[in-house]
Amino acid sequence: MSRPSTWGTPRGEVSVADYEFWRLVFPRTVARAAVREVLTDQAEYGGWELDRVRLFADGSRKVVLRRRIIRAIRTF
């Protein structure tokens, strides 16, 4: 018997909806060490992982963090 599709994706498959994203922008005045410290703290204590970093010509950084959304599955 197969599960209804409302229960999520089959094992091994990950859909985009299974992650939440947090977009951060650091201006050029923020030191590189300070950015690293913020990202490290979020990874250790908040469960976030680095998805993407974009460094602009003016020195600003756009960082995207992501973390997995854990959904409770109803058991009977």
pLDDT digits (tens, 9 = 90+) for 8-63: 444 555 555 589 999 999 999 999 999 999 999 999 999 999 999 999 999 999 99
Q: Mark out the alpha helices in 1-76 (DSSP H runs).
A: 32-46
pTM: 0.69
Sign of the torsion angle spanned by Cα atoms 3, 7, 9, 11: negative
Contact call for residues 63 and 50 (beta carbons, < 8 A) = yes
pLDDT given at position 6: 43
Per-domain residue ranges for the chain?
15-68
- Report in angstroms the alpha-carbon separations of 34 from 26, 40, 41, 45, 46: 10, 10, 11, 16, 17
